[in-house]
Amino acid sequence: MLQEYETQSTLNPKLWKGNSLKTGLSEKFLRIANEFYNFLDIHEDIEILDVLLIGSNANYNWTDSSDIDLHVVIDYQLVGDNLHLVKNYMMAKKSIWGHNYPLKYKGMDIELYAQDQNDKLHSSVGRYSLMNGKWLTKPNSSIISIDDEIIDSKSAPLEYEIKELSEKDPQLEYKIKHIIERLYKMRRTGLEAEGEYSIENLAFKKLRSRGLLDLLKQMGKRIALSKLQIHNPLINEQVVGRVKMDPIGDLAAHMTKRKILDNPSWDYVLKHMNAVEDPKGQWKYPKRCTVIPSNQITMKNVPYKVLGIDDTGHSKVMHPEKDYGYPGGKVLEIPMTPEHSTILKKLKKLLTDMTTMTEQDFAGPFGKEHDYGDYGGPWGTGHHHKTDFKKGPGADPTKSIGHGRSKELANILRQTGYKKG
């Protein structure tokens, strides 16, 4: 089924000069596509048949926040005989990739999808071959046709991701919020560009009609109710029904900017860590978790390293005899001493699992300077870091993207006498 509507008069000038892709973008997109192909972890004999740029940014129905849709074309039948299983596998890999590597270019999300060569898009849909450097189908500047296959390519991965959510997952709350934010952003982008018949809005409606939005909201309500339960101080994690509340997990999400803690959540984390709020911090309460009601911290006369995390999510390891500044209003101090080894090891593992790359014009894993936040990121020292990711994510994303941060933390932990957790 095709839908037609009026569109813009030019292709997105961020990507195109006339009908030609801007110089250098093809190579960069292909580099990303190749890393995604490696991440799929399929047999090396299965070749990439093409890499297609499709969707709004290969047509005249774009907005400034439209996704850049890159489809890596392979033959599903070479992956396995059970095509349904293969498709689910590809959607799972897409979901994990998107979760770990939310790449952007000029404010636009870069979405990757492994497309079966037998999924034929309608001949009127704009398709640009990055491998061949030419249009397979040129878009029409006055009329755009949308194929159900493109709508499915937007909705199916999200549907799979929603159905795979587990209430046993300690990161469930973040995942629900993240999916809902993506859904409404997708819809808003489509409505701004073409209205009711946009790809994004039709994909949104498809998911809604299947009851998946209601499912997300119901799960979110159960989590909200669980937070109202009385916390048992004898256990580290509050469990209500099947929903687990994990304050260290919330703190890790806060540090990676996935979930900035509100005041009740922040207080819950501090209570769990038995933190004391006092302007004198480590001077008055040595080797205890403390909260400084200021964004200016001095480490003078503090003989050990301290992990500082402010209320906006900025964090850094603070060294003895140095001064530090934070953008927030208060700072949680966790001494990097044996007394806090359990918390630090858990935090290290969670941060490794959560590590994401927020790209600015292909920084980070694709070779340019990456800024781990304004103040050096969780394990930085207040300056920019040069990070070499020439080999890309590979088959195991946590061993390259984000590996530098966990490795640096491991080194710090070893210096304080801990064994690698």
Query: How far, in Å, are 114, 119, 136, 151 from residue 87 at the CA level?
Result: 9, 11, 24, 16
Tokens of 407: 């490795």
Parallel, antiparallel or unpaired: strands 68-74 and 108-116: parallel
Where are any strands of DSSP class E within 236-387?
238-240, 243-245, 276-277, 290-292, 296-298, 306-310, 315-318, 323-325, 331-335
| Residues 61/128, Cβ–Cβ less than 8 Å | no
What pLDDT, on a 0 to 100 scale, did the predictor assign at position 145?
57
Q: Backbone phi, then psi, for 260, in 5-degree steps? A: -70, 125
pLDDT digit string (tens) for the chain, length 421 residues: 434 444 678 899 999 999 999 999 999 999 999 999 999 989 888 999 999 998 889 988 787 778 899 999 999 999 998 988 898 889 888 888 887 888 989 888 898 989 999 886 554 568 999 999 999 988 877 655 566 777 887 888 888 888 888 877 878 888 888 888 888 888 887 767 666 567 777 888 788 878 888 888 888 888 877 766 654 343 344 443 333 457 888 888 888 877 788 877 888 888 888 899 999 999 999 999 999 999 999 999 999 999 999 988 889 999 999 999 998 889 999 999 998 988 898 888 888 776 533 333 333 333 333 333 333 333 333 333 333 333 333 333 333 333 343 444 444 444 444 343 3
- CB atoms under 10 Å from CB of 19, counted, come to 12
What pLDDT, on a 0 to 100 scale, did the predictor assign at position 94?
86
| Residues 90/114, Cβ–Cβ less than 8 Å | yes
Quote the longest CA-to-CA distance of the chain.
Answer: 72
What is the rounded distance in angstroms from the CA atom of residue 354 to the CA atom of residue 78? Answer: 32
| Residues 317/344, Cβ–Cβ less than 8 Å | no
Tokens of 29: 């997109």
Under 8 Å CB-to-CB from 74, ≥6 apart: which residues? Answer: 37, 42, 46, 47, 48, 49, 114, 115, 116, 117
Tokens of 289: 């978790």
What pLDDT, on a 0 to 100 scale, did the predictor assign at position 34?
93
Residues in the chain, overall count: 421
- What is the tally of helices (H) and strands (E) in the chain? 12, 19
Tell me the three state secondary structure of residue 193: helix
Q: 343-354 b/e with 16+ CB inside 10 Å = b?
A: bbbbbbebbbbb
Q: HEC string of 336-389?
A: CCHHHHHHHHHHHHHHHHHCCCCCCCCEHHHCECECCCCCCCCCCCCCCECCCC
* Helix 172-193 with 212-227: angle, nearest 10 deg: 140
What pLDDT, on a 0 to 100 scale, did the predictor assign at position 49?
95
Q: Backbone phi, then psi, for 408, in 5-degree steps? A: -65, -40
Where are any strands of DSSP class E within 279-383?
290-292, 296-298, 306-310, 315-318, 323-325, 331-335
The amino acid at 357: M
CA angle 227, 175, 326 (to 5 degrees): 80
